[in-house]
Structure formats: C-alpha cells, structure tokens
Amino acid sequence: MIVVLLFLMATNGKATNIVWHKSSVGKLHRQELLQQKGCVIWITGLSGSGKSTLACALCQALYSRGKLTYILDGDNVRHGLNRDLSFKAEDRAENIRRIGEVAKLFADAGLICIASVISPYRRDRDACRTLLPEGDFIEVFMDVPLQICESRDPKGLYKLARAGKIKGFTGIDDPYEPPLNCELVLPQKGNNYASPCEMAETVISFLEEKGFLQA
C-alpha cells in the first residue's frame, strides 16, 4: 500500500514552508487571567503634540487600576527592533508595520498596548488597524496645531528642520495626514490644553465604556 502524505505548507511574504502552530492557551484564557481585554491604543500626531507624555500618563493611570500595559514609543523602538531603518518613505512604512505587528502580539497576550508614534500616513495606520479584530484598535489623534508643536519643540527637531539640517520632517517638508474616522480626538480645551492626566482619563473612560477593563 502506498501512502501519500500531503503537507500543506504556507507561504507568507518571503518565508516559505511555514506552518502556524496553535496553542491550547489562547487570548481568552490570558484575558481571564489578567481580568482585562487586550487591545492597541494607537496615539498619532505631530512631533511635540504630547503623544509620549499621554502614553506615560495613561500607563500610570491604568497601572494604578491594576491593569497591565506596555508602551511602544516611536523613538524607543528605533533603539532596538527598528534600529536598521532610516526615515526614508519605505523605511517609515516598514517601521510602522513592525510596530503594528508587535502591538498585535501584545494585544493577543491580553495586554493594553499603547503605541505612541507619529505615523503620518493614513494607509500605514489603517494597515495596522486591519491586523486586529474589529474594535481592538483604538486610534487616538493628538489634534495639536503645527505652530503649537513647533513652539514646544522639545527635541529641537523643528529648529533643525527649518534650518534644512533634517530632510523629510513631518509637518515641515513631509505631510501629516490626520485621521478621518479615529476613535478619539484630543483637541485644545478652550484657550488651554487639557493636562496629560485629564487626557488619560478620557481614554480610560472610553476603555471602560467598551469593556476593555474587565475580562
């Protein structure tokens, strides 16, 4: 008797002959253990808009509530995982793709992943959204005008861009495409801006409303 074994090998990108191995412990089990639901909070906006400050305030506020989070900060990720990438258009897209894939893994682990990245192009942010189940990608737009961000200039990058020492800088000689249908917009509050803690509470209220802070 001749037994013919047929192996169905997957092809994904440049990788071939790979098979997905499923674990008996899945996302629902991990969420039950953590008493929260995994998701990605994607904070986008111009440099100097307060993304990282909000991410840290949100992380601290959720920690105080006993919720497990992890921050993927744009600059921090470029110190390791994405250290091989430049700021050319194709590398920027790859930078966001990688962050999106890592954020997806954190969410699958049951964590509330906070991604704080400029991510200037809608197509790249939308591509990250499609990686997760519907509703698990929460886009937060820091709607702070360019002139305000430039006046803050915490890293001195706008000054360098205006002097021509940095090319392709978002908001100066490269575009930023604001979200069209994001979950949250954190705009100016009258003539003053809401504090990071106030903005964090706005995000937490959204998470509570959508049931992410319980299993």
Q: Could you give the residue numbers annotated as active site?
A: 119
The letter for the amino acid at 71 is: I
Cα angle value 122/79/116 (rounded, 5°): 35
The pairing of strands 137-142 and 39-44 is parallel
Cα separation values, 186 from 77, 139, 143, 179, Å: 24, 11, 6, 12
- Nearest Cα to 199, choosing from 150, 145, 149, 140? 140
CA dihedral 106, 22, 29, 136 (to 10 degrees): 40
**How many Å from the N-terminal Cα to the C-terminal Cα in the chain?**
52
d(CA 29, CA 5): 34
